[in-house]
């Protein structure tokens, strides 16, 4: 879990930064932007999710430090921390599970949509002053203590 969700993004970020360093800088001196995926689990980890939560917290922690380290070569770093999102796998899940996952989403009361994630990626790329931030994309999710293995429909 940690290898996949923390070591993998760290390694990809390292390789991207090295490649971006060779880019011609724009008018701000920027050569590229790295956007990783964290999760609301970085702050609100659930029972039976310790490794996943730790990995995603690692991404959130990595982001600001990486932005500061890469500033000298003109590379920005941000992360997106999605809450419950509609994925092809989740679309096949029972409605009871989807309802359980969205129960504590403040507004809009639904799963996030792929275009919303993509729009945030686009905004990060377009706004050069946005750097070193992990942005929650979760409809103001408030996550109470839950054992995800006991979720309805499992």
CATH topology of domain 2-21+28-142: Rossmann fold (3.40.50)
Q: What is the pTM of this model?
A: 0.92
pLDDT < 50 stretches in the chain: none
Structure confidence at residue 153 (pLDDT) = 58
The residues annotated as belonging to the active site are 52
Listed by start position, the domains of the chain span 2-21+28-142
Residue 37 burial by CB count (10 A; 0-12/13-18/19+): exposed, middle or buried?
middle
Give the C-alpha separation, 95 to 72, whole Å.
49
Nearest to 17 by CA among 49, 55, 65, 60: 65
């Amino acid at each position: 879990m940690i290898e996949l969700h923390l070591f993998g993004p760290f390694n990809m970020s390292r390789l991207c930064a090295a490649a971006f360093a060779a880019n011609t800088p724009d008018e701000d001196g920027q050569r590229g932007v790295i956007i990783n995926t964290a999760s609301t689990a970085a702050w609100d980890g659930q029972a039976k999710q310790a490794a996943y939560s730790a990995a995603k917290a690692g991404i959130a922690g990595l982001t600001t430090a990486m932005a500061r380290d890469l500033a000298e070569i003109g590379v920005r770093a941000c992360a997106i921390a999605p809450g419950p999102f509609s994925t092809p796998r989740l679309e096949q899940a029972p409605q009871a599970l989807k309802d359980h996952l969205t129960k504590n989403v403040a507004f809009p009361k639904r799963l996030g949509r792929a275009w919303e994630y993509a729009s945030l990626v686009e905004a990060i790329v377009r706004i050069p002053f946005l750097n070193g931030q992990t942005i929650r994309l979760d409809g103001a999710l408030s996550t109470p203590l839950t054992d995800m293995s006991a979720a309805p429909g499992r």
